[in-house]
């Protein structure tokens, strides 16, 4: 390896060179060479140049992959050689002995930097799609490692879109249809800006284990755009008897909100004159079970949610939606507005929201206006957290949320028609969560680890404040501990486990829990 001598820029080194040999100087500099290792980064995202590969393939870089690394104003492009080492034949970075910040990006080329990446409009082969797999990392090092090795933990900055055919319409019967090409519309800069234009990305084509065509593209994450084309689908077909092949181009409008490091799989339904998205699945590129998404006519947007609610209400008062796991507040506003526009009677709508894992603050509550009076039964099969005031003032009568673990401040405040609460895994409940729910009859939680109380002196602000607990049948986990009060950093209080089992205690015999007396307290296995 040829070693560059740093003259001029490093005055101290230049002075030392006057009283040392060139060989000595080179040896000292080489001893502080930064050795590079690139590994899997945060959020369980696989670093790599194999964005379509197996798990093992996605966890490793390929020979000849290049990364750009910068520290203290100097940038060096390192390439992975046949021995698996990152090297540059002519240059390298050095440890200075100071606290150093290292910034790196992949692919290491002239178009990418730590602050801005670019993706290719043509991703039709493996090499081209890999060049769009933009990743970055920042490492702050306060002390030189004994090994002189810098470990770079890359994180993916693009989103992956997967498209395959779910079904061809009956009008294609006997015509041997096939999805021959897919283009995905995206901005070509990461992160994209409002004024950047959309371009059609030619997707990479492969086949799945069943021999069905699957198309992949890496796109710039961003907000939803309901007016912009999202997919261009080229369908070819014939009559199976040697007649000329026909071609049709169909479009799916409405770009959904896409997050970096997430993979979105779309199953499309194709008719002669229309293509729609039949289902969506969302998953971390790295690991974890897919989160099932929409059975919707388009990607999940404000417009598609309102349309779906309106159509379902034409056939009754049962509404079922599949939302993104991290659905934004505007999607919940879309549900409220659709119900308001439809003029449904109070406490009449049974709603099921699949996929969404967090019900955001004031999602369905906005006192004193009381904008959520329409619900009767609410089902949240996938939700794990219900945020502050999410349902406050709603006239719902029952809620079933089997995976919810956390219920926050005033989540169900003044839900004065609420009778049934089934949240069998709930363990953390903030103060006043069910305040004013005066008609509660049946409540099921898991093993509580925290239950809030606002003012200990007056017993005010407990989770069942202003509730008639003497009429409530409370079901708890067989793992439930006795609870004791402690102060919190917010100058409030909370009930926390005291150690011993609650079951068989005097409190249990008296039907007392968290300072309340109940009609029944029932033990149940998780």
In a domain, 331, yes or no: yes
Task: Return the residue matching tokens 């008062």.
Answer: 317
In a domain, 27, yes or no: no
In a domain, 368, yes or no: yes
Q: Are residues 406 and 499 in the same domain?
A: yes
Q: Are residues 171 and 150 in the same domain?
A: no
Domain limit, last residue, from 128, 156, 184: 156
Q: Are residues 477 and 350 in the same domain?
A: yes
Confidence at residue 131, expressed as pLDDT on a 0 to 100 scale: 86
Q: Are residues 374 and 494 in the same domain?
A: yes
In a domain, 17, yes or no: no
In a domain, 198, yes or no: yes
Tens-level pLDDT at each residue, the chain (526 residues)? 333 333 333 333 333 343 344 443 444 455 689 998 875 343 332 334 455 555 444 445 667 788 999 999 999 999 888 777 888 888 999 998 889 999 999 988 888 999 999 999 999 887 788 889 999 999 999 988 888 899 888 888 999 999 998 888 888 887 888 899 999 999 999 999 989 999 999 999 888 767 788 999 999 999 989 889 999 999 998 876 667 788 889 999 999 999 988 889 999 989 878 888 877 877 766 543 332 222 222 357 888 899 999 999 998 899 999 887 778 888 999 999 899 888 888 889 999 999 888 899 999 976 556 556 789 999 999 898 999 999 999 999 999 999 999 999 999 999 999 999 999 999 999 999 999 999 999 999 999 999 999 887 656 889 999 999 999 999 999 999 999 999 887 768 999 999 899 999 999 999 999 999 999 999 998 7
CA distance 498 to 331: 41
Write a three-state SS string for 268-292. EEECCCCEEEEEEEEEECCCCCCEE
Collect all residues with Cβ–Cβ distance below 8 Å to 115 and sequence separation of at least 6.
none
Q: What are phi and psi of 268, to 5 degrees?
A: -105, 145
Q: Are residues 266 and 337 in the same domain?
A: no
Collect all residues with Cβ–Cβ distance below 8 Å to 264 and sequence separation of at least 6.
159, 160, 161, 162, 256, 258, 280, 281, 282
In a domain, 21, yes or no: no
**Tokens coding 521:** 């307290």
Domain limit, last residue, from 242, 257, 292: 292
**Domain span at residue 200?**
159-292
Confidence at residue 123, expressed as pLDDT on a 0 to 100 scale: 92
Q: Are residues 251 and 347 in the same domain?
A: no
Q: Are residues 410 and 453 in the same domain?
A: yes
Q: Are residues 188 and 265 in the same domain?
A: yes
Q: Are residues 452 and 432 in the same domain?
A: yes
CATH code, domain with 288: 2.60.40.2630
For residues 136 and 41, is the Cβ–Cβ distance under 8 A? no
Q: Are residues 132 and 149 in the same domain?
A: yes
Confidence (pTM): 0.51
Confidence at residue 441, expressed as pLDDT on a 0 to 100 scale: 97
Count structural domains, the chain: 3
Q: Are residues 489 and 474 in the same domain?
A: yes
In a domain, 107, yes or no: yes
In a domain, 4, yes or no: no
CATH code, domain with 65: 2.60.40.2620
Domain limit, last residue, from 269, 292, 315: 292
């Amino acid at each position: 390896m040829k070693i560059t001598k740093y003259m001029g820029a490093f005055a101290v080194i230049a002075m030392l060179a006057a009283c040392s040999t060139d060989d000595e100087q080179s040896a000292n500099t080489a001893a502080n060479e930064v050795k590079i290792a690139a590994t899997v980064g945060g959020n369980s995202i696989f670093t790599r140049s194999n964005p379509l590969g197996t798990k093992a393939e996605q966890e490793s870089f390929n020979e000849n992959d290049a990364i750009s690394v910068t520290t203290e104003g100097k940038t060096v492009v390192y390439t992975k050689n046949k021995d698996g080492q990152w090297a540059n034949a002519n240059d390298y970075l050095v440890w200075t002995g100071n606290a150093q910040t290292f910034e790196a990006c992949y692919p290491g080329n002239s178009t990418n930097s730590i602050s801005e990446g670019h993706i290719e409009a043509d991703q039709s082969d493996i090499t081209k799609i890999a060049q769009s797999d933009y990743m970055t990392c920042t490492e702050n090092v306060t002390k030189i490692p004994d090994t002189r090795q810098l470990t770079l933990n890359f994180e993916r900055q693009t989103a992956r879109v997967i498209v395959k055919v779910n079904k061809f319409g009956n009008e294609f019967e006997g015509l041997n249809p096939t999805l021959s090409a897919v283009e995905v519309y995206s901005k070509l800069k990461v992160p994209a800006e409002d004024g950047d234009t959309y371009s059609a990305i030619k997707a990479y084509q492969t086949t799945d284990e069943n021999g069905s065509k699957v198309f992949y593209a890496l796109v710039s994450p961003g907000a939803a755009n309901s007016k912009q084309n999202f997919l261009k689908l080229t369908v070819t077909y014939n009559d199976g008897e040697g007649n000329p092949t026909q071609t049709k181009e169909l479009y799916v409008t409405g770009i959904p909100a896409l997050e970096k490091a997430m993979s979105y799989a779309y199953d499309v339904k194709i008719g002669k004159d229309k293509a729609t998205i039949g289902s969506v699945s969302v998953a971390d590129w790295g690991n974890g079970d897919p989160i099932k998404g929409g059975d919707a006519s388009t990607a999940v947007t404000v417009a598609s949610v309102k349309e779906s609610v309106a159509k379902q209400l034409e056939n009754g008062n049962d509404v079922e939606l599949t939302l993104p796991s991290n659905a934004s507040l505007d999607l919940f506003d879309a549900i409220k507005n659709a119900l308001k526009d439809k003029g449904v009677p109070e406490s009449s709508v049974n709603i099921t929201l699949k996929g969404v894992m967090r019900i955001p603050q004031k999602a369905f509550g906005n006192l004193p206006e009381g904008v959520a009076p329409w619900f009767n039964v609410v089902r949240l099969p996938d939700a794990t957290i219900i945020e502050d005031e999410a349902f406050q003032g709603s006239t719902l009568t029952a809620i079933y949320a089997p995976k919810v673990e956390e219920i926050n401040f005033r989540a169900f405040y003044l839900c004065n028609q609420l009778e049934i609460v089934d949240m069998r895994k709930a363990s953390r409940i903030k103060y006043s969560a069910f305040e004013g729910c005066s008609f509660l009859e049946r409540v099921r939680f898991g093993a509580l680890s925290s239950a809030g109380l606002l003012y200990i002196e007056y017993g005010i602000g407990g989770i069942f404040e202003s509730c008639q607990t003497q009429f409530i049948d409370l079901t708890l986990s067989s793992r439930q501990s006795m609870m004791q009060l402690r102060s919190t950093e917010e100058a409030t209080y909370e009930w926390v486990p005291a150690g011993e089992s609650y079951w068989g205690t005097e409190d249990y015999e008296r039907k007392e829990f968290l300072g309340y007396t109940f009609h029944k307290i029932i033990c149940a296995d998780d």
